[in-house]
Amino acid sequence: MQRNTIRIWYLTHKWTSLICTVFLLMLCITGLPLIFEHEIEDLTGEAYIMPPVADEGARVSLDRVLANALASRPGEVGLFMSFDEDRPVVNVTSGPAPDAPGAEMTLMSLDWRTGNFVPAPDEGGVMGFLLQLHTDMFLGLPGMLFLGAMGLLFFVAIVSGVVIYAPFMRKLDFGTVRTNRSARLKWLDYHNLMGIVTVMWVSVVGLTGVINTLSDQITTLWQYDQLSEMTGDYGSMSAPTQLASVQAALNTAQAAAPGMRVQFVAFPGGGFSTKRHYAVFMQGNTALTKKLLTPALIDAETGTFTTMRSMPWYMQALLLSQPLHFGDYGGLPLKILWGLMDLFTIVVLLSGLYLWLGKRGSSVEARVRELESGGRKNPEAKEPARVETQA
Range 380-384 average pLDDT: 44
Cα torsion 314, 317, 318, 319: sign? positive
Range 16-26 average pLDDT: 94
Domain-located, residue 28: yes
More confident residue, 322 or 75: 75
How far, rounded to the nearest angstrom, does the alpha carbon of residue 285 sit from its chain's CA centroid?
20
pLDDT of residue 375: 62
Q: How confident is the model at residue 386 (pLDDT cuts 50, 70, 90)?
A: very low
User: Cβ distance 114 to 56 under 8 Å?
Assistant: no
Give the count of domains, the chain. 2
Asked if 67 and 175 sit in the same domain, the reply is: no
Domain-located, residue 195: yes
Q: Is the pLDDT of residue 384 over 70?
A: no
45-49, 248-252, 293-297: which has the minimum mean pLDDT? 45-49
Structural domain harbouring 89: 59-121
pLDDT of residue 361: 59
Asked if 203 and 79 sit in the same domain, the reply is: no
Q: How confident is the model at residue 240 (pLDDT cuts 50, 70, 90)?
A: confident
Domain-located, residue 298: no
Asked if 65 and 196 sit in the same domain, the reply is: no
Q: Is the pLDDT of residue 383 over 50?
A: no
Domain-located, residue 261: no
- In sequence order, what are the residues at sequence separation of 6 or more whose Cβ sits closer than 8 angstroms to the Cβ of residue 342? 28, 31, 32, 35
Domain-located, residue 312: no
Asked if 64 and 114 sit in the same domain, the reply is: yes
- In sequence order, what are the residues at sequence separation of 6 or more whose Cβ sits closer than 8 angstroms to the Cβ of residue 57? none
Q: How far apart (Å, rounded) are the C-alpha atoms in residues 273 and 287?
A: 27
Helices (H) and strands (E) in the chain, counts: 13, 8
Give the percent of the chain with pLDDT over 90.
Answer: 46
Q: What is residue 198's DSSP assignment?
A: T
More confident residue, 54 or 389: 54
**What is the overall mean pLDDT for the chain?**
86
- In sequence order, what are the residues at sequence separation of 6 or more whose Cβ sits closer than 8 angstroms to the Cβ of residue 354? 184, 187
User: Cβ distance 63 to 245 under 8 Å?
Assistant: yes
Asked if 209 and 84 sit in the same domain, the reply is: no
Asked if 71 and 193 sit in the same domain, the reply is: no
* Greatest Cα pair distance in the chain: 87
Question: What's the pTM?
Answer: 0.80
Asked if 109 and 87 sit in the same domain, the reply is: yes
Domain-located, residue 297: no
Domain-located, residue 206: yes
C-alpha angle with apex 116: 110 to 119, nearest 5 degrees? 50
Taking alpha carbons only, the member of 50, 25, 19 closest to residue 160 is 19
Domain-located, residue 273: no
The pLDDT tens digits for 194-238 are 998 899 999 999 999 999 999 989 988 888 888 777 776 666 677
Asked if 117 and 143 sit in the same domain, the reply is: no
Asked if 206 and 69 sit in the same domain, the reply is: no
Asked if 32 and 146 sit in the same domain, the reply is: yes
The pLDDT tens digits for 141-180 are 999 999 999 999 999 999 999 988 877 777 777 877 888 8
58-67, 271-280, 335-344: which has the minimum mean pLDDT? 271-280
